Structure 1
Amino acid sequence: MPHRVAVLVNENSQNSKKAANVFAAVHGVPNVNIVYLNLPDSIVTGRAECTPEEFMKYIYDPAQKTVEERGLTNQVLAWVYSVDFPIRVVTSPNDRQQMSLMGVTFTRGKVPSPEMIEKGQFLSPLFAGPVKEGGPANPSRSFDILQGGLKEKMPLPSMMLGYTGENGTDMDTVLRCLQNGVLARQAGIGSRILLVKTADEKRSGPREWQYAGVKTEMAARGGSVEIYTNQPPAQNNLLGVLTGAATVNPADFGTFAPGAMAEHLTSWSAEFQKEQTKCIEWLKAGATVTAGMVTEPYNAWVKFPHARFFVHYASGCSAMESFYQSIYSPVQVLLLGDPLSQIAGLPVEIKTVGLSKEITSSLDSAFVAEAKLPMPAQILYSALLDGKQIKEADTISLIELPFKEMGDGWHEVRIIAQAFSPVTPGGFKDFPVIINKKGRSTLITGMADGASHQIAVKVAAGGKETPKEIYLLWNGRALDRKPYVVGAELSFDERLAGEGPQRIQAVSVYPDGMEVRSAPQAFAIAFKPQAE
């Protein structure tokens, strides 16, 4: 679910802001879940690598601090990195003992022994198996279910929206992957998956034992898997390709359906100064997600996606959930594309009973959620208020707003309904609510472009009382706080927000401490082309 991810943004990169803005908007990630980090160029340019100490200083510690300060600690289960982040963490002078950004995030900054990293002996508690042909395997599960079992032992999964650094893709490729991630559910699981054996025994052999079992499991889910022992003919609308080779031409396999995953099990496929074909070539060719190695991993299959990725994907897991249940030792892998891409899911209809558009008393602050799924299933209900969780998932449909703590003005209630099953499929719907305890309100009366990239926002406060100050609220950050005067105007720099879809609110602060939010103003920013 979108509220379960924190989106990390390099605030010194306009591309990072743009990709994050688009991702959050198309998937409905709450604005409060967007975290901005001040990264030095030294760790995102060239080889795009950092030390473990730099990871903690510039990424992990400040991101965790923001998550905690916003009250999201128990809500966020995974991180989504935008573009322009380091991809490799130099945990050893030996390339074979270094970690990826995904790996060091997964361990929350704790570095395993060099030998464990090199030999693939760091074992993920999320891996669903099997480790040998015909061996035991766990059912597909969502991060919600996995966290419920692991509790404080839950690692921190992550993915990156794309790689646009040295020898990387352009932004159009990143944005197309996000668009295809949204379209993936419409494409469904019917498109063909190619599992291709090659003559390259070192790269193809380690994973071939997985193919027959996955073909059987996918057939039971309505999927289509073909196993080839040589280069297959080009085909249209592929859902996936797994093969093993140092050099591949993704176009030789055909075209890709929205949501497609492709990968070719080779060393350094995410080390962008080496010769092997890079994992991003699959994204350029139309795949939505991919995986690559930032080091020399040898040919240890435990470091690469198991072919059972597609079983998890077809069962309703997101791309990120599918990757982490299919990688036994995920400490050297770079995962790129749309992490919330799903090819299977349950449509859900959600409505409320007893939720007033304007609430003036605590007596009216409780209501019932009603959800309808296309199949018989027990339904789990949870809820967010202004992006923050106020009700954990359970079968109780009664939802109570914390009326006593809420300020007057506009608020947003998100109702989340999920089937009580291992992958917890479902959906959400947002409902606007006005709180009116003291007759106070805030209104954005206009927005206009100003000089030097400034956007001016005119604000008015309603009611008999006068607020002492006002500010703009954007993605969990307060902008341009000023004493309130009639006809007040606030402003912000469009470069701070970055290109893409936006939502901003004005907030009035009263002498008694109450903060009154306006309805959000939706708009989009597109920078004017630079004159040559």
Structure 2
Amino acid sequence: MIVGVLALLCWHGAVQAQLVMRTGGLKPSQLALVINDDEPNSVEIGEHYRQARNVPAENVVHVRIPNHPRKLDAEQFRQLKEQIEAKLGPHIDAVLMVWTAPYAVECNSITSAFTMGFDPGVCEAPCGPAKPNLYFNAVSAHPQAEHGMRLSMLLPTDSVAAAKALIARGMASGFSVPTASAYYLTTSETARNSRAPFFPRAGLVPTRKLAIKRLNADALVNEKDVMIYQTGMARVDKLETLQFLPGALADSLTSFGGDLYGTGQMSSLRWLEAGATASYGTVTEPCNYWQKFPQPTVLLSHYLRGVSAIEAYWRSVAWPAQGVFIGEPLAAPYRR
């Protein structure tokens, strides 16, 4: 159910007071890996991830997607999804696709099409509302059983070394709770500030050693304790000056961050290259509905409760049809 703006404005302050609530998180046994046997990097990285995260061998699905396409049509995707799901048991609650591309299904993202089903209505009216996410702000530990949804994410594979470093960051996030900050930037690009009203109030969450900081700025510079970075810019500068902590989440409200190989705006891949562990972006023009992007308070509150990156990100987007989730899904810096 999509909560109205006024209700959310009242609600997010109450949620912030409950940030220390704890819940369980996704386990490796609940995760399936989908490896593209036509891409050598996918094969190598997929096996590395399986061993690093102790994903059961029976949870691995092999497919063939030749020629590294950015986009699939609806029929190509239907066949791919049927092939994957035929090999998944009822205990599988999430799927990690080990590739960078394909990342879109016509005007949908591949992750939303897999988890929620392909939505052709978005292609007819990309700047209109999209199908609501039943998992939005949910607390379910078993989305497949309770919502009929298997969460999905892409693990980019353009560089084996970069992918292994990303996996290492996700794993390192589980060892200790660092002193960290969550940064929320209201920028000069006014149209991209539509979720700023939902930024958490500035302050401290002592039990999580987290400082919440709100800034009026176009870029964060020289900060070394970044756990969350949410902003609204077509291109985000100064990423090379930052230090993202293991498990960090970062994204920008802009039209084409999920067009991972696009050049018109900053690709969400740049966040991972800068050191973030997971990110999100839209593959086609969504207009600036906050519902099509990670809602800041929902994302933070669930992450601080101890769930994984894939769970926190999927719970935070009310209308995710056009948005692709990327990164290391099992990162969980606050799971204890």
For Structure 1 versus Structure 2, the TM-score category normalised by the shorter chain is 0.7 to 0.9
Instruction: State, as a whole percentage, how many aligned pairs show the same letter.
Output: 22
Aligned residues: 307
Question: Residue 257 of structure 1 aligns with which residue?
Answer: 245
Q: How far apart are 1:310 and its partner, in Å?
A: 2.0
2:126 and 2:284 in contact (8 A); partners too: no
Q: Which of 147, 154, 157 pairs up with 1:160?
A: 154
Question: 1:2 maps to what in 2?
Answer: 28
Alignment of 1:204-243 (within 5 A): 205-213=193-201, 215=202, 218=205, 221-230=208-217, 231-243=219-231
Question: How much has 1:9 moved relative to structure 2?
Answer: 0.6
Structure 2 contact 257–282 (Cα < 8 Å) conserved: yes
| Letter aligned with residue 65 of structure 1 | A
Aligned-partner Cα distance in 1 for 2:54–2:166: 16
Counterpart position of 2:56? 30
Q: Which residue is 1:143 aligned to?
A: 141
- The 1:113/1:199 distance shift into structure 2, 3 A limit, reads closer
Aligned partners of 1:142 and 1:34: how far apart in 2? 24
SS in 2 for 1:8: strand
**1:79 matches 2:109:** no
Matched residue type, 1:61: E
* 8 A Cα contact 2:126 2:286, kept in partner: no
In the alignment, structure 1 segments of 5+ residues that lack a partner are 91-97, 129-137, 165-169, 347-532
* 1:61 paired residue among 61, 73, 82: 82
Q: Which residue of 2 aligns with 1:106?
A: 115
Aligned mates of 2:194, 2:206 — CA distance in 1: 23
Partner residue of 1:52 out of 71, 74, 79: 74
Query: Offset of 1:142 from its aligned partner?
Result: 4.5
Do structure 1's residue 277 and structure 2's residue 298 form an aligned pair?
no
Read off the aligned partner of 2:82 and give its amino acid letter. D
What TM-score do the two structures reach when normalised by structure 1?
0.55
Higher normalized strand content (fraction of residues): 1
Once the two structures are superposed, residues 217-274 of structure 1 have per-residue CA deviations (whole angstroms, 9 ceiling, x without a partner) of: 9567542111111244411131121111111124265111111111111111122233
* Larger RCO (CA within 8 A; separation ≥ 6): 2
Task: State which of 282, 286, 298 in structure 2 corresponds to 1:293.
Answer: 282
Instruction: Supply the distance in 1 between the matched residues of 2:248 and 2:117 (Cα, whole angstroms).
Output: 29
> Would you identify which runs of 4 or more consecutive aligned residues in structure 1 move more than 6 Å?
none
RMSD of the TM alignment (CA)? 2.1
In structure 2, the CA distance between the partners of 1:105 and 1:147, relative to structure 1 (3 Å rule), is closer
How far did 1:10 drift?
A: 0.4
Distance 2:211 2:113 in 1: 35
CA distance in 2, matches of 1:291, 1:237: 20
- Can you give the 5+ residue segments of structure 2 that lack an aligned partner in the other structure? 1-26
Query: Which amino acid counterpart does residue 183 of structure 1 have in structure 2?
Result: A
Q: Is residue 248 from structure 1 mapped to residue 257 from structure 2 by the alignment?
A: no
From the superposition, tell whether residues 253 and 298 of structure 1 become closer, same or farther in structure 2 (CA, over 3 Å): farther
Match of 1:177 among 122, 143, 166: 166
Amino acid in the other structure paired with 1:228: L
Alignment equivalent of 1:127, drawn from 136, 139, 147: 136
Question: CA–CA distance in 2 between the matches of 1:19 and 1:63?
Answer: 18
Aligned-pair distance for 1:80?
A: 0.6
| Counterpart code for 1:120 | P
Q: Would the alpha carbon gap of residues 31 and 268 (structure 1) be closer, same or farther in structure 2, given more than 3 Å must change? A: same
Shift of 1:8: 0.4
Does 1:345 find its partner at 2:301?
A: no
AA of the residue aligned to 2:87 = T
SS at match of 1:195: strand
Which structure's residues are more often helix, by fraction? Answer: 2
